[in-house]
Structure 1
């Protein structure tokens, strides 16, 4: 069985690396013959700092599906078309948008110096901060602040892109047409119904829709409809995740799913 994990708010919290207790649980699953895949909104560059280096060769999906890596190498990158970037750039100017824009590795940033996104942005200085026009291939756009974010969001509906609104942070997360975590899983050869998905936010919806079983960490109104199970996000979440993973590892997966249903 394949286990697919979102990172932030799912198995790592408050910008801290995934705990050793959770990492050990994942390794136990691998030792039992299961496969682990990480699927995040972060670009691959920013997945690496929160995972111990012994996990850096695991399959990874970054940028909500725009970047796929395996065995330590990027194997697939889906970029915005030039025409689309042109239209989005017009919106950036029109609504005075500050942003974080990622290529497959480097990035452009114009947001506030104290924005929380900086806590997770290239902490190990693996990439270069450059001007937008210097980025060769753009895979992900975060609109951070604007003089009218609602209007900007409405205008994006006229552009062929995928948009996730992170309501708690007031951020718009934009990906190329047809790109999401399920499309990233398909790039890795994953088939519908052959994996268990863990996530916490709207950008996990597509991978929940195609999973055999899906576990929501905490609560998201948008994600709840597609969730098979929920784990409460509290001070015991890591302990409860470790326990739950141990139960799956020690059981017949299909029998366990039948019990839950």
Structure 2
């Protein structure tokens, strides 16, 4: 047995389109943990949103670890202990606000159980009309998500605040997210790539509509490397599954880096292996193949 650790991204990787873990994948991950293989979940989500799935996977019984908010912290499930790695503080938030307010974009500020959403006038009017057409209740979140202008994230962020001025944004957050339609986000990316501001933070697209920002050096990959160093895990003793740009940092240097069929093109290009998509038990199929090859 070569592989000692399995690392899974969540949305678009471990979770199917209905946000559930596919049954064969769930059972296989539990079986492999029972054999002594450690499971790590790595996500842009906060640990609060990760815990229900971690418990389904019985990670509390097998020393599982959560890498949350793109590497902002580590959470040891069985010990219920969290180690904070980095935050965005007020001065950095002000700097980011000033730059991204030049664009017509939604700004999100994610804390552990709270999310603030800043909406410029044009996006506020658009969302107000959508909410009216959909007859949504007043307490429905204003946040945008990977599939559209409105996304209900109250399962992980029970505290939701919509703000209309940048002065109302919080003094700290785990990450900031820039949200707009995919074509507009391509325009934002092109401007950012050619601006000196680009090198001051970590930027990754979690999907085509959302650019996520953390402090310099805060990535899923760096958080994973901390775990590997602490536990003495070698780069050929770990398999990493992902689908988005925020997973590329985890792929780096890993022999068994696996992109889902539904992955963003850049993530696919950085992976050494590909598997079926998240709705077709892609993780299960790759793990089963590795078992046959004697790697698990």
TM-score scaled to structure 2, two decimals?
A: 0.72
Question: Given the alignment of the two structures, is residue 181 of structure 1 paired with residue 181 of structure 2, yes or no?
Answer: no
Report the secondary structure of 1:74's partner residue: strand
Q: 2:247 aligns with which of 204, 210, 214?
A: 204
Q: 1:216 aligns with which of 245, 259, 265?
A: 259
Count of residues paired in the alignment: 250
Q: Does the 8 Å contact 2:109/2:176 carry over to 1?
A: yes
Residue 249 of structure 1, CA deviation: 4.2
Partner of 1:259: none
What per-residue deviation string (whole Å, max 9, x for no partner) do you get for residues 198-253 of structure 1?
A: 11122111111132311110143212332121113275x21x53243234346532
Question: Given the alignment of the two structures, is residue 26 of structure 1 paired with residue 29 of structure 2, yes or no?
Answer: yes
Q: 2:160 aligns with which of 121, 129, 136?
A: 129
Instruction: Give me the CA root mean square deviation.
Output: 3.0
Partner of 1:163: 203
Tell me, which stretches of 5 or more residues in structure 2 are unaligned? 120-126, 128-141
CA distance in 1, matches of 2:56, 2:276: 29
Residue 36 of structure 1, CA deviation: 0.6
Question: Given the alignment of the two structures, is residue 115 of structure 1 paired with residue 155 of structure 2, yes or no?
Answer: no
Question: Given the alignment of the two structures, is residue 246 of structure 1 paired with residue 288 of structure 2, yes or no?
Answer: yes
Task: Call closer, same or farther: CA 1:60–1:9 in 2, change over 3 Å.
Answer: same
Q: Does the 8 Å contact 1:162/1:178 carry over to 2?
A: yes
Q: Does the 8 Å contact 2:65/2:75 carry over to 1?
A: yes
Residue 49 of structure 1, CA deviation: 4.3
Report the secondary structure of 1:207's partner residue: helix
Partner of 2:174: 139
Residue 152 of structure 1, CA deviation: 7.2
Q: Does the 8 Å contact 2:260/2:278 carry over to 1?
A: no
CA distance in 1, matches of 2:56, 2:283: 21
Report the secondary structure of 1:78's partner residue: coil
Residue 114 of structure 1, CA deviation: 7.7
Report the secondary structure of 1:129's partner residue: strand
CA distance in 2, matches of 1:120, 1:155: 29
Q: 2:270 aligns with which of 223, 226, 230?
A: 226
CA distance in 2, matches of 1:66, 1:114: 21
Q: Does the 8 Å contact 2:26/2:57 carry over to 1?
A: no
Q: 1:87 aligns with which of 89, 95, 117?
A: 95
Report the secondary structure of 2:88's partner residue: coil
Report the secondary structure of 1:94's partner residue: coil
Partner of 2:48: 45
CA distance in 1, matches of 2:180, 2:91: 23
Task: Call closer, same or farther: CA 1:12–1:152 in 2, change over 3 Å.
Answer: closer
Bigger-Rg structure (1/2): 2
Q: Does the 8 Å contact 1:7/1:39 carry over to 2?
A: yes
Report the secondary structure of 2:101's partner residue: helix
Q: Does the 8 Å contact 1:6/1:40 carry over to 2?
A: yes
CA distance in 2, matches of 1:52, 1:12: 14
Task: Name which of structure 1's ranges 215-224 and 58-67 shifts more when overlaid on structure 2.
Answer: 215-224
Question: Given the alignment of the two structures, is residue 97 of structure 1 paired with residue 105 of structure 2, yes or no?
Answer: yes
